[in-house]
Amino acid sequence: MDLDLTPEQRMIRDTARDFATRDVLPHAAGIDRRHEFPREIMAKLGTLGLMGVGVPEAWGGAGMDTVSYVLALEEIARACAATAVIMSVNNSLVCGPILAHGSDAQKRAWLPDLASGRKLGCFALSEPESGSDAGALRTSARRAGDSGFILNGTKNFVTNGPVADVVVLLASTDPAAGSKGISAFIVDARNPGLKFGPPDDKLGIRGAPSAQLFATDAVVSADAMLGVPGSGYKIALGALDAGRIGIAAQALGIARAAFEDATKYALERKTFGQPIARHQAIEFKLADMSTEIDAARLMIWRAAVKKDQGARYTSEAAMAKLLASEVANRVAKEAVQVFGGYGYLTDFPVERHFRDAKITEIYEGTSEIQRMVIARAVLGA
């Protein structure tokens, strides 16, 4: 499905597809089995411009639009969902807010390295007692005279955390003001007051390391603040709008992987004298999968186009993530069914797609949060 892609958009998709097929897919099972951070792949993605797709060339990025970004991300996720989320977090939740809200000095300090893959970023918002209710976070950033802030608190599920060089971290500079007292900071991950816990042991996306992050009297200078005091919650929610398009594209890639693997298998596997793909029970499953995948892709492209037009796209991003993540789970579940007993074995990638799909309904806002965001837009609340 090409619609009216520009030559540049087709080029980035084809580049990502070739790279994913040749250099990512053959390693995906091993990355999952060994819970291995794909360091070399990430470096190559940086060289290809895929770690800072929307970052202008002046700041070391590829200077391409959001449609290009989702095209590339779908291809990478089709090969390896873990690799795709590492890429998505760096692009949407780290480069995105620095580009949108950073000073020239902050952009100069971080973007060229992040966009080229020389450095990797992570985003620390969730806490042990605040996930969906992100505005209730407790990590504090206490003023230390004029020179800076002292950070204290615990962050949860920080994707890329154990291998990150920089953290976009949300903390309260004014607890009495609630979510309006939250500020955003760009913190060097080597800050002696920061410590990551052991990597989380997860159901899926096992190559994308995540962990708790502990800030204990971590001193940061005043110029580490991103945006103005109290603007952190909006910066985070804005970054998550873009992030949700990215996770939708990741979900789409997982769905496509499950669908393509199931279709190939259904054409090879014979029962009752013919390939199972020729039995209506299987044929209808493949037809439904294909239809839902196309619907998800169209929703993702719509959200990406709206973002590129500079319009508010909160609801479209939420719809795209809601649909694509649920499609990924339905398609992966049906793909396991097409494989029958073999689908339950780790010898075939389809069980990995089934495990990887689940997280797309949870991170960067659960499906329930997406429905809440969409309902607010529908009801004008």
As measured in angstroms, the least distance from the Cβ of 74 to ligand CAA is 17
3-state secondary structure of 196: strand
Q: Does 370 bind ligand CAA (CB under 6 A)?
A: no
Give the HSE-up count for residue 277: Cα atoms under 13 Å, Cβ half-sphere. 14
Q: State in Å, rounded, how far the first CA of the chain is from the last one.
A: 36
Among 106, 172, 179, 360, the residue binding ligand CAA under the rule CB under 6 A is 179
Nearer to ligand CAA, 63 or 229 (CB): 229
Residue placing its CB nearer to ligand CAA in the complex, 50 or 134:
134
Q: Amino acid identity, residue 11?
A: M
Least distance (Å) from ligand CAA to the CB of residue 56?
22
Q: What are the C-alpha distances in Å from 92 to residues 14, 291, 336?
A: 21, 28, 31
Those residues with Cβ within 8 angstroms of residue 127's Cβ, 6 or more apart along the chain or in another chain: 137, 138, 139, 153, 154, 155, 156
123 binds ligand CAA (CB under 6 A): yes
151 binds ligand CAA (CB under 6 A): no
Site string for ligand CAA, 256-275 (x = CB under 6 A): --------------------
Q: Which is nearer to ligand CAA, 5 or 237 (CB)?
A: 237
Helix or strand holding residue 371 (H, E): helix 367-379
- Residue from the set 110, 265, 339, 363 that interacts with ligand CAA by CB under 6 A: 363
Structure tokens given for 132: 């969906």
- Residues 212-231 close enough to bind ligand CAA by CB under 6 A: none
3-state SS assignment for residue 366: coil
Nearest C-alpha neighbor of 89 from the set 129, 41, 124, 126: 124
Q: Which range, of 22-30, 290-298, 332-340, 369-377, touches ligand CAA by CB under 6 A?
A: 369-377
- The helices-and-strands tally (H runs, E runs) of the chain is 12, 10
260 is catalytic: no
Considering only the stretches 126-134, 185-193, 252-260, 343-351, report the one whose residues sit in contact with ligand CAA under the rule CB under 6 A. Answer: 126-134
Catalytic-role residue among 316, 334, 364, 368: 364
**Dist. CA 112–CA 2, nearest whole Å:** 31
- Within 13 Å, how many C-alpha atoms sit on residue 175's CB side? 9
Residues identified as active-site = 364
Contact positions vs ligand CAA (CB under 6 A): 85, 89, 123, 125-126, 132, 134-135, 157, 159, 179, 233-234, 237-238, 240-241, 314, 363-365, 369, 372-373
